[in-house]
Chain A
Amino acid sequence: MANSAKGFDVRKQWGFTTIAAVCFVLLYLPVVLLVVYSFNAGTSVAIWEGFSLQWYRSAWDNQQVQEATVRSLVLAFWASLIATSAAVLAALATTRVRPFKGYSTVFAAINQPLMVPEIVTAVALLILFAGIKVQTGYTGLGYLVLAHSAFCIPFAYLPIRARLQGMDLTLEQAASDLYASPFQVFRRITLPQLWPGILAGAMLAFVISLDDVVITEFVKSAGQDTLPTYMLGQLRRVVTPEVNAISTVLLAISVTMVIAFFFLSRVKK
């Protein structure tokens, strides 16, 4: 290794580092600019007129934004809670077990939301829920919670499964050898070790629910905007830095969660 620094570096490929640098800049430049202009004193999202928090204030005072924020958070909370609970149980049933009949079907079913284009699921849910709405007259948040729970399941399932796969089955055997009943084994041994995976899965599900546009746009009833669908509606008009301010807050939540997820999934097993 000491030699390769001075001599011939077998890993080097001409121009690759430059392209990688360009790639990283391109990935972050638009987002950084978006954040910067959320603090703009003027009404433009391209011309800098000085620092100001006025757009955060105006977003905060905007009743539609307030309602959409609360709705987004409530929705993400329930969807991630339901999806994570279902995913934990499903992971327990499909991980560290002998291969069983129907395993690949179950696995495909759980991961289906990852494979089917969102727009396809969105219109399918529109068709189904439109019928139910007419039949029952219920137009509450339940449809969105159900839809979000479904597409959040694989995102919660995969990190939980990964964690579970890395766990030593003999620990559970040792516990049952020491007189722990199956439930005690789960509560005292499996759950404490699985916890980082569950947390990671829940956070991922939360972020995914919080960010969803397409399915929400098709499933929501009138007046049920979430933050992303509210923003989508705003983009049709003249964009003010208020949208940047909302975006920045959403970005901050996502980035925090993703970084926390990253470190959680590195917790030693």
Chain B
Amino acid sequence: MIEIDKVSKAYGAGKSRFMALNDVSVTIRKNEFFTLLGPSGCGKTTLLRVIAGFVDPTEGSVTMDGQDLLVLPPHRRPVNTVFQSYALFPHLTVRQNIAFGLEMLGKPKAEIAQTVDEMMALVQMTAMADRQTGQISGGQQQRVALARALAPKPKVLLLDEPLSALDFKLRKDMQIELKRLQTETGITFVFVTHDQEEALTMSDRIAVMSAGSIRQIGSPHDIYEQPAERFVADFIGDTNFLPVQVGTVQGDMAEVTLSSGKTVAARAVLGGQGGGTTLAIRPEHTRLVPPDQGLLQGRLENVVYFGTDTHYHVAIGKDETIVTRAQNLPGSVAQFKTGDTVGVDFPAGVGQVLKD
């Protein structure tokens, strides 16, 4: 278990002072696949490097199972990192790379050889054992970097955007592979990415970061279905933001009034109580209906075909737009065309009132 408590990191001083991390507190549990998700420059990599020991925080504490990590230099911390650039040692072979950490720990030769063989089998690199790292492909380098970091059996594995350099197909394969490795080894994974889809498919829990602080922590389902604030809703998936007035709140639910004057029930776990004014609703939760039906009426501005589905952009009033997504099922034909007046409808309880 890693406990990060009120960690801040400032660069520079005076006017040029920049807070890379601003009062970040988070607890990473044992054996979980924990993801730090956010746009570039949000501080996610800095936080990872604080755990690894390459960045000294300006304030705060980081402990692992009750032990203070910050007093330890990187080479004394029981964590290993998979670097974004892989950082494979170019003058060593695949086998020597994987053995490096074990050698540094002073393990007996026989044990090193055995563990290295296991690791190469685990990432399916046995055939490449004696290649130089420059002679293998990007995907293979990725596997070696992973095996090298796993070989010393760290308590925590830190992964810094390890898949970003791979092409789409390989990335999909490696996502599944990584998840499998995490389950098999039972090692805690702290994974940094800017790819929301990657985060959703792999993680047990996600921390969404922005501008040096954590905006929301939760399971992929929570983060996607119940974004706490506009940044999270906007960053994860596509979202429509509708101006609303919040009426009576009952438990988790609130009655909200749309711009059309119609009312609908929406979730208000995190936002409603404070009297939020924005309703977030996913495009796939809405559908187009004939003009006289539905909660909102507007003019169909644009129809964008995406293969698996089609997006309909509907202008509601002057400066309100809502996007509706419909799956392209076999035999389905477009009911509406650009310029038509249409209605937009969504069921009660799927919208989310955001914190302001």
**A–B direct touch in complex (beta carbons closer than 8 A):** yes
Which chain A residues have a beta carbon within 8 Å of chain B's beta carbons?
A: 168, 170-171, 173-182, 184-185, 188-189, 192-193, 268-269
Asked if A180 contacts B85 (CB within 8 A), the reply is no
Q: How far is the CB of A188 from chain B (nearest CB, A)?
A: 8
Tell me the B72-125 residues at the A interface (CB within 8 Å).
73-77, 79-81, 83, 85, 87-91, 100-101, 104-105
Q: List 6 A-B contacts (CB under 8 A).
A: A171-B90, A173-B52, A174-B87, A175-B104, A176-B53, A177-B79
Contact flag A171-B75 (CB < 8 Å), given A177-B80, A179-B104:
no
Residues of A within 8 A of B148 (CB): 178
Q: Within the assembled complex, what's the spacing in Å between the Cα atoms of A192 and B52? A: 25
B interface residues, tally (CB under 8 Å): 26
Asked if A180 contacts B87 (CB within 8 A), the reply is no
Residues of B within 8 A of A176 (CB): 53, 73-75
Contact for A170 among B76, B85, B91, CB less than 8 A:
B85
Contact flag A179-B152 (CB < 8 Å), given A173-B54, A184-B104:
yes
Residues of A within 8 A of B91 (CB): 192-193
Contact flag A180-B89 (CB < 8 Å), given A170-B83, A173-B54, A173-B83:
no
Q: Within the assembled complex, what's the spacing in Å between the Cα atoms of A48 and B77? A: 75
In the complex, the 8 A-B pairs of residues with the closest C-beta atoms, listed nearest first: A178-B101, A174-B87, A179-B104, A170-B87, A176-B74, A176-B75, A180-B104, A192-B91
A contact face: mostly helix, strand, loop, or mixed? helix
Q: How far is the CB of A178 from chain B (nearest CB, A)?
A: 3
CB-based A-B contact count at 8 angstroms: 64
Q: How far is the CB of B78 from chain A (nearest CB, A)?
A: 9
Residues of A within 8 A of B75 (CB): 176-182, 185
Contact flag A178-B85 (CB < 8 Å), given A184-B104, A193-B90:
no
Residues of B within 8 A of A188 (CB): 100
Q: How far is the CB of B133 from chain A (nearest CB, A)?
A: 11
Q: Which residue of B lies closest to A192 (CB)?
A: B91
Residues of A within 8 A of B80 (CB): 177-178
Q: How far is the CB of A191 from chain B (nearest CB, A)?
A: 10
Contact flag A189-B89 (CB < 8 Å), given A178-B104, A181-B75:
yes
Q: Within the assembled complex, what's the spacing in Å between the Cα atoms of A171 and B85? A: 9
Asked if B81 contacts A180 (CB within 8 A), the reply is no
Q: How far is the CB of B104 from chain A (nearest CB, A)?
A: 4
Contact flag A177-B52 (CB < 8 Å), given A168-B85, A170-B83:
yes
Beyond A170-B83, A179-B75, 4 additional pairs, beta carbon < 8 A: A178-B152, A179-B104, A184-B104, A189-B89
Asked if A174 contacts B104 (CB within 8 A), the reply is no
Contact for B87 among A168, A185, A192, A268, CB less than 8 A:
A168
Q: How far is the CB of B96 from chain A (nearest CB, A)?
A: 10
Q: Within the assembled complex, what's the spacing in Å between the Cα atoms of A185 and B79? A: 17
Q: Within the assembled complex, what's the spacing in Å between the Cα atoms of A178 and B134? A: 20
Tell me the B301-356 residues at the A interface (CB within 8 Å).
none
Q: Within the assembled complex, what's the spacing in Å between the Cα atoms of A148 and B243? A: 78
Q: Within the assembled complex, what's the spacing in Å between the Cα atoms of A204 and B278? A: 69
Q: How far is the CB of A266 from chain B (nearest CB, A)?
A: 15
Residues of B within 8 A of A178 (CB): 75, 80, 100-101, 104, 148-149, 152
Contact flag A174-B81 (CB < 8 Å), given A179-B75, A192-B91, A193-B90:
yes
Residues of B within 8 A of A175 (CB): 89, 100, 104
Q: How far is the CB of A96 from chain B (nearest CB, A)?
A: 13
Q: Within the assembled complex, what's the spacing in Å between the Cα atoms of A177 and B52? A: 7
Q: Within the assembled complex, what's the spacing in Å between the Cα atoms of A178 and B101? A: 4
Residues of A within 8 A of B101 (CB): 178-179
Residues of B within 8 A of A192 (CB): 91
Residues of B within 8 A of A268 (CB): 134
Contact for A171 among B52, B53, B73, B87, CB less than 8 A:
B87
Q: Which residue of B lies closest to A180 (CB)?
A: B104
Q: Within the assembled complex, what's the spacing in Å between the Cα atoms of A174 and B91? A: 14
Q: How far is the CB of A120 from chain B (nearest CB, A)?
A: 42
Q: Which residue of A lies closest to B105 (CB)?
A: A179
Residues of B within 8 A of A171 (CB): 87, 89-90
Q: How far is the CB of B56 from chain A (nearest CB, A)?
A: 13
Q: Within the assembled complex, what's the spacing in Å between the Cα atoms of A184 and B75? A: 10
Q: Within the assembled complex, what's the spacing in Å between the Cα atoms of A138 and B210? A: 69
Q: Which residue of B lies closest to A179 (CB)?
A: B104
Residues of A within 8 A of B87 (CB): 168, 170-171, 173-174
Residues of A within 8 A of B77 (CB): 177
Q: Within the assembled complex, what's the spacing in Å between the Cα atoms of A185 and B73? A: 13
Residues of B within 8 A of A177 (CB): 52-53, 74-75, 77, 79-81, 149
Q: How far is the CB of B43 from chain A (nearest CB, A)?
A: 18
Q: Which residue of A lies closest to B76 (CB)?
A: A179
Q: Within the assembled complex, what's the spacing in Å between the Cα atoms of A181 and B101? A: 11
Q: Within the assembled complex, what's the spacing in Å between the Cα atoms of A177 and B145? A: 12
Q: Pick the most buried of B83, B134, B149: most chain A CB atoms within 10 A of its CB.
A: B83
Q: How far is the CB of B131 from chain A (nearest CB, A)?
A: 16
Q: How far is the CB of B111 from chain A (nearest CB, A)?
A: 15
Q: Which residue of A lies closest to B84 (CB)?
A: A170
